[in-house]
Amino acid sequence: MSEQVAPVALGTSKWDQSDVMMITYGDSIISETRKPLRELKNFLVRDLRDTLSAVHVLPFNPYSSDDGFSVIDYKAIDTKLGTWEDLQSIGEDFDIMADLVINHCSSESRWFKNFLKGRDPGRDYFIEGTDYEDLSAVVRPRSTPLLTEVQTVDGEKHVWCTFSEDQIDLNYRNPEVLYEIVRIIRHYVEQGIRYFRLDAIAFLWKQSGTTCVHLPQTHELIKLLRIVIENLEPSAVLITETNVPNRENLSYFGNDNEAHLIYNFSLPPLLLNSILSGNCQHLKTWMMSMPPARRGRAYLNFIASHDGIGLRPAEGLLSSEELDGLVENLRDSGGEISMRRTPEGDLTPYEANISLYSAMAKTIGGSEDGLQMARFICAHTIMLALEGLPAIYIHSLLGTENNREGMARTGRARTINRFQWPADELNAALQDDERHHKAVFAEMKRLIEIRRKQPAFHPNATQYTLHFSDQVFAFWRESLNRDQSLFALNNVSAERQTIPLVELNLIATETWCDLISGESYADLEGEIVLEPYSSVWISNKV
């Protein structure tokens, strides 16, 4: 690169309370008359123009496996989805997040084909495992072999495959690889991409005798990519995808010089466990331990995505017995459990593959009780109120259930949560009073649209944990200018809970109202009754 680059000033505001993102595949909605990206645009503009600010379109490049995360050509859009113009059309109404799948690329990519032939570009773009003496401590989220044997013009070689034999890890010891990535980033900026998600970035750098995860060189590369991205587009946002225990995840903020946003990976398993067990003790303990995100950086909150519900981020937060109970409950609700292999060779749960709506079918140790939707909405009401920027999976907005038929067809556990809605069937479901999809979609939209108007829900607004009981998860938010005060109270149990208003710090000279129900609280000597899995957002500003 010949241009001079300099860090963008810290504290620059890149988001506010109106920012809400939807996560979706480009072909989550399909039809026979439109390309999927055009069908997605139609759905977004028709139903969600006032609900969302941004859309994470999961890998849209030509790919060979892993539903897009094995990229063949980074600068092309899969023609089955549409064109760059179709993606830019979505960008006219919503900011777009794109994945930078740069730990590895497809075995069918031009780079890897050239590697096999000993040609450029690609000849030195990949990691050969034989260059590393000690691989015994390597940590990875798969149980497949780390090294894959391939035949090249120079004979047999063993390439490094963190995820699968089709996903070949790139060699960042070769600066040409980094130059290629910078050119790809420039291309994405030119196409109007604003959010850049660094997929599986924790595994980027390899060093013999180490875990090959979270290495210092990886953090240095992230710092460099941030400088590049911000100088190409000052409003751009960098997100790291590091599905690891909490302390390691927090390290990717760096010293305000790495990620702008990090995924709150511990939130999904802890929130799910709280609602399914009826006890939020661990969720409260975790939230109190979380450092407030400084201005210029924030948490990206989510409770479901295209992947499963990560279980590793709950390590050290839930006991092994509690984790086992959660896993068993999710299996009973039709889910699958994916495993990873530890350095000692043991298999341990890595993620739960299940639709979040299906995951709420019954409580731990209980049976189906007619409160599935209430639990589901409660979980999202909590997430929408937390410090950070919320991201909601399309199948959560729609209340999609387990896609076990699709999973049986592909043989991949993650397909269970990657259903493709035929557009006409989706439209019918969203208008059918007899199906839960209509009610879920309407209530999710209503809550999001309330949230977007509250300064106290700014991603960096003050947050304090409140203590009532282990059945009530409660916290207080205050706007950056200290003008709005908001109390979020959530009953995570199947039993009615009562809270005296005097236990809240409601200033008597203010008028207090629940933003969700519209109920006013004139008598501050009264009480709040929380029905099973219900929530209130009590605010002094309406």
Residues annotated as catalytic (active site), given as ranges = 199
- DSSP, res 126: B
- DSSP result, 294-306: PTT-EEEE-S--S
Tokens of 312: 């590793």
* Residue 171: φ, ψ to 5°: -105, 100
- Show the CA angle centred on residue 530, arms to residues 524 and 535, nearest 5°: 95
Note whether 71 and 106 are within 8 A (CB).
yes
Using left for φ > 0, alpha for ψ between -120 and 50, and beta otherwise, residue 187 falls in alpha
What's the rounded Cα separation, in Å, for the pair 433 and 441? 12
Burial 15-37 (b: 16+ CB within 10 A, else e): bbbebbbbbbbbbbbbbeebbbb
Nearest alpha-carbon partner for 180 in 219, 107, 124:
124
Identify the CA nearest to 138 among candidates 343, 357, 1: 343
List the end-to-end C-alpha distance of the chain, in Å, as a whole number.
51
Structure tokens at 264: 């709150």
Quote the Cα angle for 399-68-42, to 5°: 50
Q: Reduce the DSSP state of residue 344 to 3 states and report it.
A: coil
> Strand 472-478 vs strand 21-24: parallel, antiparallel, or unpaired?
unpaired
The verdict on whether omega for the bond into residue 390 sits within 30 degrees of 0, i.e. cis, is no
